[in-house]
Structure 1
Amino acid sequence: MNNNLFSIIRNLLLGVLLLSGISLGIKKFDLVGFQSPENIRNTAQLNQNVVSSRMTYGRFLEYLEMGWVKQVDLYENSRNAIVQASSPELGNRPQTIRVEIPVGASQLIQKLKEYNIDFDAHPTEQKNLFVSIASNILLPVIFITGLVYLFQNSENFGGGSGQSPMSLGKSTARFERRPDTGVNFKDIAGIDEAKSEFEEIVSFLKEPDKYTIVGAKIPKGILLVGPPGTGKTLLAKAIANEADVPFFSVAGSEFVEMFIGIGAARVRDLFKKASENAPCIVFIDEIDAVGRERGAGVGGGNDEREQTLNQLLTEMDGFKENKGVIVVGATNRADILDAALLRPGRFDRQVTVNLPDRLGRVGILKVHARNKPLGDDVSLVQLANRTPGFSGADLANLLNEAAILATRYKKSSITKNEVNEAADRIIGGIAGAPMEDTKNKRLIAYHEVGHAIAGSVLKSHDEVEKVTLTPRGAAKGLTWFTPEEDQSLLSRSALLARIITTLGGRAAEQVVFGDPEITTGASSDLQQVTNLARQMVTRFGMSNIGPMALEDENTGQVFLGGMSAGSDSYAENIADRIDDEVCKIVNYCEQKAIEIMQDNRVVIDLIVEKLLDEETIDGDQFRELLSTYTVLPNKNAPYISKFDSLSPVN
């Protein structure tokens, strides 16, 4: 700490000295060979009285002839004169007057002698030879020497960042000889398969003989692939702590600079340091920043990123062997990585870190709840059931939000109320102020109850968690559904049930108030319905067109007809047939939603009044009210409408 402080003070003093030298040089250069009229006047002011006025040369000659001039001081090769005079016009008071002598007035000295005027001529100041040499040679040398010194001492440049012009080619990776990240394998849950892969790597580093005896080689690279927040960086921290070997960590974006060749130099420097500290682990986070497929630049040129990637490929599996250096990469965009980077020999293993399932979420919640006082009414299992699709980072944030809410409410432990509120806040947004009891609020209540009733009577739809009129985000009301299990695969009946339930809100408005009173509140519902129905036709093969994929799931690229990748470049009349099939699905589901609302018209008003009174109805209370007037079907049997104008839908 003292050495760093001394270095900073030393560099600051050197900088001040350099700036002073530059200022002095500029000032000296400004004075070389001439003096300005302003300097002349200032010099006269130091030796004479203050100059009070100016006078033309002709007027000066008149003063001279009248005998009013007492003394003349000539400056700058007789181009300027400071005149001491006194005239009867001003009561014979002494005057100090400045006169500019025109070029060609060569007889002035003779006239001054004729009139017996005391004059003194001051020649142009001549520079001392030593001062001239110092100004023109020594000061630039001192300045350049100081800059070289600063650049060479890059460890103190920029506040200790090490990023000076002389160190651009040095690796920016953080190095820990014995890393202590505070994360162990016991702190990781929900991704057991990925964790077991890393436990094997740690075992290899600690007991290599156990593997080499059967001819096994340690993998050179492990690529972690998965959505954001699933724990890829957390795994890297755990392996760094568990393996107890030198650890280098760097982000992919830190390799790429605007100057050509800097990234490649940093890659070389990184692997050189890693080889010197082998066995060790090199962790490259967001490796897609440097590992993107080559040829994707402007014009397909060999840009800086591609040079950096080429160097990375060479270092990982080239003629130069890096024994004992394990590269761990992490990305959520494995689809854009260069094929040469993914081949065995570079990244021998690709470990997919998916979103956790229900049991995984329970394990993650237990890890993050260790240091939090949870109330007896908090069930982590129920919370895990309610949070499908949450990543590990989302679950950690949820419990943290619950802890913040408990502090806000001045509680000593986290209760179920704070946990549920935190989940609602993350899923739906921050709760707004309750709406006033107006026509709009009543319309929203009927809309949300329509969603809840449609979802409750369809076997393939999730159960209602709660219905609320509390605004969250852009939504003025919400209906929450909780799946019984994680649904990675959806059946046709489940997709149709989702469309019917989504249209249930608009159907309730239509049945209760009539077509003229249908509102714009279902605009987002209609977008979801149209998108889901289109996917059923173009991606899932769930239409009369047949089991064909007409669009790519990720890019939307058309598979049939044309060279274009637009979504409307289909062969012949395929586009029209797609639109017809989408319309059939949506119209069919709309009719089923209307039938469900008509079947349950009696109970809609009762539930709406209850909702308007309490603002929020939980799932059990809702189903109890609904079952009073309607026989809830078994979720394992299809729903059959009284009007049954179309085939039954599950």
Structure 2
Amino acid sequence: MKNSSWIRGWMGNEGSAKERTTHPLVSQSKKPEVTPRKLWRIAASLILVQGVVTAIPTQAQQVQPKSISYGKLFEKIDACKIEQTPPVKCQITKVEIDPARRIARVHLEGQKPKESPEEVMLLNENSELIEKLRNTKIEYEVEPTADNSAAVGLVLNLFLLLLLLAGLMMILRRSAASSGNALNFGKSRARFQMEAKTGVKFEDVAGIEEAKEELQEVVSFLKETERFTSLGAKIPRGVLLIGPPGTGKTMLAKAVAGEAGVPFFSISGSEFVEMFVGVGASRVRDLFRKAKENAPCLVFIDEIDAVGRQRGAGIGGGNDEREQTLNQLLTEMDGFEGNSGVIVIAATNRPDVLDTALLRPGRFDRQVMVDLPSYKGRLGILEVHARNKKLSPNVSLEAIARRTPGFSGAELANLLNEAAILTARRRKDAIDHQEIDDAIDRVTIGMTLNPLLDCKKKWMTAYHEVGHALLSTLLENADPLNKVTIIPRSGGIEGFSQQMFDEEIVDSGLYTKAWIIDKITIALGGRAADAEVFGEDEIDSGAASDLRNVSELARKMVTIYGMSELGSFALETPDSEVFLGSGWTTRSEYSEEIAAKIDRQVRDIAIECYKKARVLIGENRDLVDRLVEVLLDQETLDGAQFRKIVAEYTQLPRKQMALSC
């Protein structure tokens, strides 16, 4: 009874807890934490419940209702004696005695087969009953039934025990896994290859021949270390690859590993930095420990600026974890022990943010510039990426290389890939020059949209773009026109005029004053054509980007390039503090009087260029109308066709263009 009351109390508490958790005002997001102590309590409770539940059937069997009494059974048996006068009809046909359950099943005369026999509760000793049955003609059997209650209880106890052991094993496994992660938290995550199988060789890298020559010596150091050390030469400790994104720095490091065939570790700089102080330094130590065990070997750290930035930079100090990681990296590269036989190759496109201690000789002995490819470099890159492309015979890789100055290797690879996608979409068998042209426009400007349907808008766009294109053709120092179109592009571009920039100017970055003045004049050509044709009151906001470029170029002429009346000196320096954001470190390097003069000079340059554009558009108004007619008809004109119309144009009577296209 004590167990039963405890069960009822425990079940009542459980029900009340369920009611509380299912109340609509109670939050269901927070789950109770199951501790080992609670788990033991639950297991013990289940064992007690099982014991009580298995005992209930036995008690229920003991209190089954009796059909006839024990004395009544004796009277019926006495009526069935063999020698009895006068003879009495026997009502019992068979008696089955079950001593285990202390039950006698009595089958009566005239009982139907489907009816259950009468049950009589017996005493502990039933010798008298058996003796009476022997003296009668009643058939009787003594067959004890199997008592399975003990076996069922044992099985349930074993099941609960196994369930408890399984729960404990799960807890132990989780604790072991968490402790294992804690122990491996400071281990290096570098990907290791005993024999570098990057699949990239120097022949697969094109367009950066100077960088390949520099790194060829690194491969020689790794392959023939003794030849250099016997002469007293020291193996360079580190090589820093510097260049814009997409120029092939990572591919060049893979090529070095593939050529050298030495153990190769590769990791990103961001994988050193964690939120816990000391983890990054531990990973650096573990990385170099493994590298020294496999020396000579190569360690490649991509995007090293994530961990190698200047220490102490930023508002309120730097990142302690990152600075400790950097200190450990500096020590491992050139500390007390050194890293003989380990060459570190790092890549970054932000060398200006790296710590000076990291760049000194002894750590990164060589700094290899991986710059944008020249014409020959672009041609080589196109040849490499065109190996698995089906090009039409009329496609010239030389022409593509000339049309893509300033393109990086990644952009050239993307260009050919976009051309292949367009070819497959148009269900052609080979890439033609049309797909190449569309791919260049898609990469540089955007996707082609449906042509303009609004007549007035299309007409105004044509005049605006012809203004740009005509000035780029008439001005002496301007780059030649490549194409002009009024087909809109994604990003709100309703049309554009594209020039073929001089490769020498783009590669060198040296701009003459005459070239900048003509570039400003071309940028204002669209606004000048709008004002000349439609009037000052009808110009729209389509030239906003042109005006921003004009302001930027004119201000650089005055404050940085020294190309104004203020003098040949720089008045401003570019904002180089990348940690604080643009504009945080801008300080006044001149007085307010000079600032007013700078604004006046910038304004004068823009006004003079605008006047020059208006004059050229006004003097060639008939030519402008003719070019607009052709452009509205064809929607796209290439540079050669445009220049032919300009050269062969004769004075024709001005044709009044209707508003309908």
TM-score tier after normalising by the smaller chain length = 0.7 to 0.9
Partner of residue 525, structure 2:
504
Q: Distance in 2 between matches of 1:185 and 1:233?
A: 13
Q: Distance in 1 between matches of 2:308 and 2:577?
A: 24
- 1:551–1:567 Cα contact (<8 Å) kept: no
- 1:556–1:567 Cα contact (<8 Å) kept: no
Partner of residue 125, structure 1:
none
Partner of residue 146, structure 1:
173
Partner of residue 603, structure 2:
583
Q: Distance in 2 between matches of 1:536 and 1:269?
A: 52
- 2:301–2:346 Cα contact (<8 Å) kept: yes
Match of 2:543 among 481, 499, 522: 522
How far residue 151 of structure 1 moved from its aligned partner, in angstroms, is 4.2
Partner of residue 477, structure 1:
495
- 1:556–1:566 Cα contact (<8 Å) kept: no
Partner of residue 251, structure 2:
234
Decide whether aligned partners of structure 1 residues 604 and 301 sit closer, same or farther in structure 2, where only a CA change above 3 A counts. closer
- 1:287–1:331 Cα contact (<8 Å) kept: yes
Q: Distance in 2 between matches of 1:288 and 1:23?
A: 50
Partner of residue 386, structure 2:
369
Q: Distance in 2 between matches of 1:229 and 1:47?
A: 88
Q: Does 1:614 align with 2:637?
A: no
Partner of residue 84, structure 2:
none
Decide whether aligned partners of structure 1 residues 555 and 295 sit closer, same or farther in structure 2, where only a CA change above 3 A counts. closer
- 1:445–1:612 Cα contact (<8 Å) kept: yes
How far residue 211 of structure 1 moved from its aligned partner, in angstroms, is 2.5
SS in 2 for 1:522: helix
Partner of residue 287, structure 2:
270
- 2:571–2:589 Cα contact (<8 Å) kept: no
Q: How does 1:434-445 map to 2 (within 5 A)?
A: 434-445=451-462
Partner of residue 139, structure 2:
none
Q: Distance in 1 between matches of 2:429 and 2:35?
A: 62
How far residue 300 of structure 1 moved from its aligned partner, in angstroms, is 2.1
Q: Does 1:627 align with 2:642?
A: no
- 1:388–1:486 Cα contact (<8 Å) kept: no
Q: Does 1:206 align with 2:226?
A: no
Q: Distance in 2 between matches of 1:494 and 1:504?
A: 15
How far residue 606 of structure 1 moved from its aligned partner, in angstroms, is 0.8
SS in 2 for 1:326: strand
- 1:358–1:486 Cα contact (<8 Å) kept: no
Q: Distance in 2 between matches of 1:28 and 1:280?
A: 56
- 2:238–2:366 Cα contact (<8 Å) kept: yes
| Deviating more after overlay: 281-290 vs 214-223 | 214-223
How far residue 219 of structure 1 moved from its aligned partner, in angstroms, is 0.5
Q: Does 1:25 align with 2:45?
A: no
Q: Distance in 2 between matches of 1:519 and 1:485?
A: 34
Q: Distance in 2 between matches of 1:315 and 1:605?
A: 71
How far residue 326 of structure 1 moved from its aligned partner, in angstroms, is 0.2
How many pairs were matched up? 514
Decide whether aligned partners of structure 1 residues 210 and 28 sit closer, same or farther in structure 2, where only a CA change above 3 A counts. closer
How far residue 150 of structure 1 moved from its aligned partner, in angstroms, is 2.8
Match of 2:534 among 500, 513, 519: 513
How far residue 554 of structure 1 moved from its aligned partner, in angstroms, is 4.3
Q: Distance in 2 between matches of 1:541 and 1:29?
A: 89
Partner of residue 337, structure 2:
320
Partner of residue 429, structure 1:
446
Q: How does 1:281-360 map to 2 (within 5 A)?
A: 281-296=298-313, 299-300=316-317, 303-360=320-377
Decide whether aligned partners of structure 1 residues 363 and 293 sit closer, same or farther in structure 2, where only a CA change above 3 A counts. same
Decide whether aligned partners of structure 1 residues 615 and 139 sit closer, same or farther in structure 2, where only a CA change above 3 A counts. closer
Decide whether aligned partners of structure 1 residues 302 and 592 sit closer, same or farther in structure 2, where only a CA change above 3 A counts. closer
- 1:385–1:484 Cα contact (<8 Å) kept: no
- TM-score, with normalisation over the residues of structure 1? 0.74
Match of 1:396 among 408, 413, 417: 413
Partner of residue 493, structure 1:
514
Decide whether aligned partners of structure 1 residues 471 and 29 sit closer, same or farther in structure 2, where only a CA change above 3 A counts. farther
How far residue 363 of structure 1 moved from its aligned partner, in angstroms, is 1.1
The aligned amino acid for 2:353 is I
Decide whether aligned partners of structure 1 residues 455 and 46 sit closer, same or farther in structure 2, where only a CA change above 3 A counts. farther
Percentage identity across aligned positions? 53
Decide whether aligned partners of structure 1 residues 608 and 285 sit closer, same or farther in structure 2, where only a CA change above 3 A counts. same
Q: Distance in 2 between matches of 1:46 and 1:455?
A: 109
How far residue 571 of structure 1 moved from its aligned partner, in angstroms, is 1.7
